[in-house]
Amino acid sequence: MKCVLNTKSVVMLKYLLMTRKENFLKIYANIPLNIREEIILVVDDEPITWKVAKMEIDNDTKLATEILKKLEELKII
């Protein structure tokens, strides 16, 4: 199956991801340091802490996209 995105779709996708990223960073900045080690979700049987999520999001990894999507679904961001 081939996926074709036009320019408008790519721009909207980037906007959506940036909005999620910005929301995450605002929330992360206000989380106490000791809470950042706590697990916030599990992706592919791997626990994700606030710190791991931030590292992935800062590096714009494929996992970051999934983390942001799940955090939004859970209404955390």
Bridge partners of residue 46, in order along the sequence: 43
Note whether 42 and 12 are within 8 A (CB).
no
HSE-up (13 A, CA, CB side) for residue 66:
10
Domain ranges of the chain: 33-77
Q: What is the CA radius of gyration of the chain?
A: 14
Q: Output the tens digit of pLDDT for each of the chain's 77 residues.
A: 566 667 777 777 776 767 899 999 999 999 999 999 999 999 999 999 999 999 999 999 999 999 999 999 999 98
Under DSSP, is residue 40 helix (H, G, I), strand (E, B) or coil?
strand
